[in-house]
Each structure stands twice: as C-alpha cells, then as structure tokens.
Amino acid sequence: MQPVSALKGVGPRVAEKLGRLGLHTIQDMLFHLPLRYQDRTRITPVGSLMPGREAMFCGRIELADVVYRGRRNLLCRVADGTGSVLLRFFHFSGAQRDSLQRGVLMRCFGEVRSGQTGPELIHPEYELLPAGSEPQPENRLTPVYPTTDGMHQLSLRRLIGEALDTRLQGIREWLPDEVLDLLRLPTLREALDFVHRPPPGAPVGVLMQGRHPAQQRLAYEELLAHCLGLRRLRERIRQHDAPGIDADGALFRRLVLQLPFALTAAQQRVIGEIVEDLRQRQPMQRLVQGDVGSGKTLVAAAAALHAVEGGWQVAIMAPTELLAEQHWRNLREWFAPMDIEVAWLAGRHSVRARRSMSQLLASGRAPVAVGTHALFQREVGFHRLGLVIVDEQHRFGVHQRLMLREKGAADGRIPHQLIMTATPIPRTLAQSVYADLDVSVIDELPAGRQPVETAVVPDSRRDTVVQRVRRACLEKRQAYWVCPLIEESDALELQTATATEVALRQALPELQIRLVHGRMKPAEKEQVMAAFKGGEVDLLVATTVIEVGVDVPNASLMIIENAERLGLAQLHQLRGRVGRGAAASSCVLMYRAPLSAAARERLATMRATSDGFEIARKDLEMRGPGEVLGTRQAGEQQFHIADLVRDQSALPQIEKVATILLDRYPQHVAPIVRRWLGIRGSYADV
Ligand code: ADP
Ligand code: MG
C-alpha cells in the first residue's frame, strides 16, 4: 500500500505527525475511524444549553470586553432571545477582538460548561455570519478523529477525505463470500465511506451509539482482526519448545498436609489442568479466573511446587509491591519446611540487595522468585526458568503478556506461563480478549463462606454506624474501618485515616483501636496486623493498604468511608476481607451525598450481589473493557470502532469466522490483521 506521503499536502513533517498516530500508509488513513461525531445538524436555543454537552447555537453579540483576571480574557456575551451565554478566550489576536463587535451575528460550536454567571464556553469554534443571513445547521454529522499534538482535526479530516476520494476504490475485501453472506452487512467500501462521511439524513442517534450497520460491519472486522492476531500469537508461542516438567506432586502433597483446610473441588480441578499443561513440551498459556477469596494463591503454589520438584525455577510476578510482598511472605512460610528458598525482588530494594538476589536466581540457588515487573528487567537472569506466574493479570495488557513470554529460558526453550486474575469476565468475552490463552475457572469458594450483608448509608448517619461497630466488638467480633483515598495523595489519605482513628478512640473508649497504613515500616505494620489477627485489637482503622491479601477470619464487619469514590472492583476486593469465617459478616458502605448517577449504581450493585462475575459484568457495562481489563493503563490502543460490551453478542460468530479463515483462507489472515492492528499491535506482525 502506498505511503501517506502520496497524498497531496503530506510532506516529511506531516508524515512524521501522522506516523505518531500509527498512520503510515494510505490504507492506515482509511482505517483511522472517527472516535465519535459532533452533531451540528441542529441549532440549540441558547436558553436550553446544557453544561457538559456539546452544542451548536446562533446568536448576536450583546457585549464584548477584555478584562484582566490574573490574565487577559476576552469575554463575549451572546444571546438569541431565549437566553444568553458567555464565550471566553484566553488567547486572541487584535483582529479577532475587533471582529467580535456588539450586534454581530455568529454561529458557535463547543462544549458548554457552567460558569459563575451561567453557561459559558472556553475557546469555542465560531463563525461570523453576514447581517440578515439565516443561520443554517449542517446537513451531516461531523466526524471527530483521534489526533495528536500539532495535527489539527480539520487537517486530518481533509487528508482522510482525500484518501477516501482517491483510494477507497483500491481497498480490498478480505472476507470471503461465504462469510459476507453470513453477515448480511454492507460491503467494506460502503461501510468505510459511510462511517467517515455519514450522508445527509443518516440516522443521528443510531450513529452516535455506534449501532449503524456500517459501523457494525467494521466493528465486526476489527474484532475478527484481534481474534486472528491473538490466535496467531498463540500459534507462534506453540512453535517454541517448553520444558516438559515431570514430577509426581510429592512437594505439593506435603504442603497440603500442612494446611488447616482441604482443597475445594474447583482448586483441585484447576491444579490438575495446570499440571497436565506443565508436563507438555509446548508452553502452557493458561489464565486462571477466580473470584476474590477463591484461593488462587494456593493454586499458584501448587504450580510452583510442581516446577520446583521437576528441577525448574519459577518466577511469580504481582502488579504492586504490596501484593508481591504478601505472596513472598505466604510462600516463604509454606515452602520453608521443604527448604525451598524464595527470593524477593522489589524495585525499592537497594542495588546491593537486588544484586545478591539476582545471584541467587542466576546460580539457581533460589528456585522461586517473587517480585513486581522488576523481576523482568534485563539484568535479572535465571538459571533454569521453567514457569512464569503472573498474578492479577488484568493490570497487564497483551503487550506485557507478550514480553513475558518472550523472556527466554535455558537452552532455547521458553517457560510455561500461568496468569491469574480476580476480574472474572464472561466466557464469551474471555474467549475473545484472551483468545491466546486457555482459560480455567475456579468457580467455587471454600466451604463455609457466607455472603456479606451490605448496607449503603449516608455519612450523616455516622453515629449509628459507630454504635454498630461498638455492638459488634462487644460481641467479640472484630471490625475494619477503611478510609480510602480522598485526594490523589498518600499524605492526605494518611491524614484522614489518622483523624478518623482519633475520633473513633474518643467515641469508643472501651475498644482497642489501632491504625495501619502504607507508610508504616513493615515491622510496625506486621506488629499491628499480628495484634489484630490475634484478637487483641477490636477495630482496625486502615487505608486501602488492606485491599489485598489481608486475611483475618474473625473480622466480620467492615465499614468503608467515601465508598462512592471507589470503583466496583476495588469495593469488591475490600469487601472480600470479611465473610471469611464462620460468623455472618456485614459491610457498611458510607457515602457523602450527593451521589452521582454512576456512584449510585455502583453502590446499588454492591448491595445487590456479592458474585464477582456479576460485579465484573456490571463494571464492564459501566466503564468499558479498556478500563476494567487495564489495557488503557497499560497504554494499549483501544479498539477503533468495536466495543466489546456493545458487540458482545457477535463474539461467538466471530470466533467461528476466525476458524474458517485460519483453516481455509490462511492467506487472508495477515492482511486483515495488519489493516486493523497496523504496526501498533506488535502482535500483528507475529
Ligand atoms: P484469592 O483467590 O483472592 O487470591 P487467596 O489465595 O488469598 O484468594 O485465599 C483466600 C483465603 O482463603 C486465604 O486465607 C487462603 O488461605 C484461604 N483458602 C484457600 N483455599 C482454601 C480452601 N480450600 N479452604 C479454606 N480456605 C482456603
Ligand atoms: Mg490473590
């Protein structure tokens, strides 16, 4: 395909900017789809402008003035008989200022905000209209493209327009007829043209929601491209050798004997699946999904012991230091009786400490290493790495997965990989998002867990909540009082937690109250936690440090302050700290009014269910997969046009079509993947 520089007006500088958007060829331009549309097909009366919405309106300038409020502002009041609105400019030329005269008629477009004196817009797009003219709305929707610094929306729109005019005809249909017949959707060319330039009269609402057949056609192909890309990645990994690890499970049996409980059937089944994979000479690529508290750590330990028994090393990676430390403590305790050394590698360790850990690993003296991604820095070498375990994988995207798998083991073989997540997602979705992985589900909680009864209470009823804590603790139960992040600052979080602790001590003098937070020294933290675990402390005031890992079965009441600020996944994790013992547990979600609609929905969901799958489904619906699965944080591109939640029902069919293509049209696969994933998805050119 021709490079972008074949377009008129694209010199080296523009080409470089387009390159930053991943646009290298003209085909890339055609597949750079609008993020959304602006609706300039209606003129909104100024009196009905709504803050937070984009709108087009017309009116006359009533007043224009330059004022100094710290900096120079050009203010312009525009009215149309139904109301008035303020336009605010911080950067303006003399000519611009002179043109904005009282009485001039203008058409304006932008996002409305609520200002001090009513609705206002900052730097709106505007156009002056000749006196006496009748303002006209546009007759088609305006596409808005993802762009980058220095690449103006209008220029991008023009370049894409040119690509459509001159090159759309050359675009190839890679879906075979039998698939097209199945789809009954527009052809690729029709769809691309429609989506870039919806014709006049195109249904605005349907397009805005992304449900037009032209959009569906493209979304379908995009999802297919991802699915194909991941399946090929899987195939590529399969071509590598992995150590076939033989062991008869003696070490794990020893661990099980030490445990005060029996494995659940689900744990046994999943461990069986993993061990079977580990015996193969093909690399395991397995994802374990299991709700909070379903006992994933033990499953990881089983996998690790199998590898160690077979003479291989294991690396266990967690997304945060806290979680890594937690695993390290757990495993060290479990493995100590078997004389298995567990090395711990954290970013905050001194260079010297890290070096000595690295030596332990490189020499093979430590069979197990736990750490954050620091484990996978270049300088860390393993003697015989046979298995990589990644915990809480939802925070790592495909790229990270790929990087890990490429981390070679001894003699050209690559390690087996096990990924664990507590963000369970629906099966159809998992098959698509993790098309490169086999999925095991721990679909059972240890026996005796009772659902946590959850109440949602405004913080104006704090006194009642405090009394509830008193009653519970006097009955010899224990409680958590969680003070989550108020501002984006550890220091402030700490301040709130400290103040809360003081207030609670005053209100509840008869109780033993302690505070635990992230800034405490590990030894101090451990001492407080041990006292809580030992029952000497009734009420533990905590920051969200206790989100993961803390396990005190006698604690059966949890209060979460500012619950309205937390996401569903985090609330679910926190609540998972109670309901672990024999007693019935409860959780009070305290909020500060007024609640946003989204917060209200989150809290209602938490009250309605304790099923992690259900909560994840709701989370996906509310936030979208990019946020929930962490691909956005991981810096991975979102889909151009597909939406995993909206388009979920198409996924099973897409799976089938992917199989048809791989089996019968293998030469079509690479062009489809490249077209949609370009060079951005490194798994595209696998
Ligand atoms: P998660 O799946 O959230 O990572 P953990 O591995 O932290 O869960 O396990 C939660 C708690 O349940 C731990 O205290 C663990 O020791 C305990 N546990 C694990 N498996 C069982 C089981 N089969 N029966 C009872 N308790 C279990
Ligand atoms: Mg866990």
Look up the CATH number of the domain holding residue 562: 3.40.50.300
Query: For residue 598, what are its two tokens?
Result: 């989204």
Percentage of the chain modeled with pLDDT above 70: 90
Length, in residues, of the chain = 686
Verify that 29 and 47 share a domain, yes or no.
no
**Is residue 636 predicted with pLDDT exceeding 70?**
no
Ligand nearest to the CA of 259: 1
Verify that 438 and 457 share a domain, yes or no.
no
Verify that 322 and 367 share a domain, yes or no.
yes
Answer yes or no: is 237 within a domain: no
476 versus 426: the higher-pLDDT residue is: 476
User: Which CATH number is 110's domain given?
Assistant: 2.40.50.140
Answer yes or no: is 117 within a domain: yes
What's the pLDDT tens digit per position in 363-384? Answer: 989 999 998 877 777 667 888 9
Answer yes or no: is 22 within a domain: yes
**Is residue 560 predicted with pLDDT exceeding 90?**
yes
Verify that 90 and 172 share a domain, yes or no.
no
Final residue of a domain: which of 417, 442, 467?
A: 442
521 versus 175: the higher-pLDDT residue is: 175
Per-residue model confidence (pLDDT) at position 683:
47
- The answer to whether the beta carbons of residues 387 and 304 sit under 8 Å apart is yes
- Ligand 1 atom closest to the Cα of residue 297 is 6
Per-residue model confidence (pLDDT) at position 401:
62
Q: How far apart are CA 192 and CA 186, in angstroms?
A: 10
Q: Provide the 3-class DSSP secondary structure of residue 45.
A: coil
Answer yes or no: is 674 within a domain: no
Verify that 363 and 292 share a domain, yes or no.
yes
- Ligand 1 atom closest to the Cα of residue 294 is 2
Tell how far the Cα of 392 is from the centroid of ligand 2, in angstroms.
Answer: 7
Answer yes or no: is 227 within a domain: no
Query: For residue 191, what are its two tokens?
Result: 């769809």
Query: For residue 457, what are its two tokens?
Result: 């209470």
Per-residue model confidence (pLDDT) at position 682:
45
| Closest to 121 measured CA to CA, from 70, 74, 68, 181 | 74
Q: What is the DSSP letter of 350?
A: -
Tell how far the Cα of 297 is from the centroid of ligand 1, in angstroms.
Answer: 7
Verify that 14 and 47 share a domain, yes or no.
no
What's the pLDDT tens digit per position in 132-162? Answer: 888 888 888 899 998 888 888 888 999 999 9
Verify that 300 and 373 share a domain, yes or no.
yes
C-alpha dist (Å) from residue 339 to 6, 129, 297, 383: 66, 83, 19, 18
What's the pLDDT tens digit per position in 436-463? Answer: 889 999 999 888 788 899 999 999 999 9
Which structural domain, as residue segments, surrounds residue 482?
452-609
Answer yes or no: is 401 within a domain: yes
Q: How far is CA 648 from the centre of its chain?
A: 17
Per-residue model confidence (pLDDT) at position 489:
58
Question: Is residue 652 reached through a cis peptide bond, with omega within 30 degrees of 0 on the bond before it?
Answer: no
Answer yes or no: is 677 within a domain: no
Per-residue model confidence (pLDDT) at position 99:
93
Per-residue model confidence (pLDDT) at position 633:
45
Verify that 22 and 167 share a domain, yes or no.
yes
Answer yes or no: is 564 within a domain: yes
Within 483-596, where are the H helices? 490-507, 522-533, 568-575
pLDDT mean over 69-74:
84
- Exposed / middle / buried, residue 28 (Cβ in 10 Å: 0-12, 13-18, 19+): buried
Beta-bridge partners for 558: 480, 587
Band of the pLDDT at 684, cuts 50, 70, 90?
very low
- The answer to whether the beta carbons of residues 92 and 76 sit under 8 Å apart is no
Verify that 53 and 33 share a domain, yes or no.
no
| Closest to 448 measured CA to CA, from 596, 281, 574, 582 | 582
Per-residue model confidence (pLDDT) at position 405:
61
Q: How far apart are CA 621 and CA 45, in angstroms?
A: 33
Per-residue model confidence (pLDDT) at position 12:
92
Total domains in the fold of the chain = 4
Verify that 481 and 430 share a domain, yes or no.
no
Per-residue model confidence (pLDDT) at position 205:
84
Across all residues in the chain, what is the average pLDDT?
A: 86
- Ligand 1 atom closest to the Cα of residue 263 is 23
Beta-bridge partners for 276: none
Final residue of a domain: which of 89, 119, 137?
A: 137
What's the pLDDT tens digit per position in 310-364? Answer: 999 999 988 777 678 878 888 999 999 999 999 988 766 777 888 888 888 889 8
Q: Which amino acid is at 372?
A: T
Band of the pLDDT at 479, cuts 50, 70, 90?
very high
Q: Which amino acid is at 486?
A: I
Verify that 415 and 483 share a domain, yes or no.
no
Tell how far the Cα of 306 is from the centroid of ligand 2, in angstroms.
Answer: 19
- The packing angle between helices 213-239 and 651-664, to 10°, is 60
Final residue of a domain: which of 609, 640, 656?
A: 609
C-alpha dist (Å) from residue 325 to 225, 344, 346: 39, 8, 8
Per-residue model confidence (pLDDT) at position 240:
87
Q: How far apart are CA 378 and CA 364, in angstroms?
A: 17
pLDDT mean over 390-397:
67
Verify that 192 and 267 share a domain, yes or no.
no
- Ligand 1, atom 20, lies closest to the CA of 295
- The packing angle between helices 568-575 and 612-623, to 10°, is 160
Contacts for 101 with CB less than 8 Å, ≥ 6 apart: 61, 64
| Closest to 67 measured CA to CA, from 103, 116, 129 | 116
Band of the pLDDT at 679, cuts 50, 70, 90?
low
Tell how far the Cα of 514 is from the centroid of ligand 1, in angstroms.
Answer: 25
What's the pLDDT tens digit per position in 585-620? Answer: 999 999 998 888 889 999 999 999 988 888 888 887
Q: Which of 271, 298, 394, 575 to mutate to test the pocket of ligand 1 (most atoms within 8 A of CB)?
A: 298
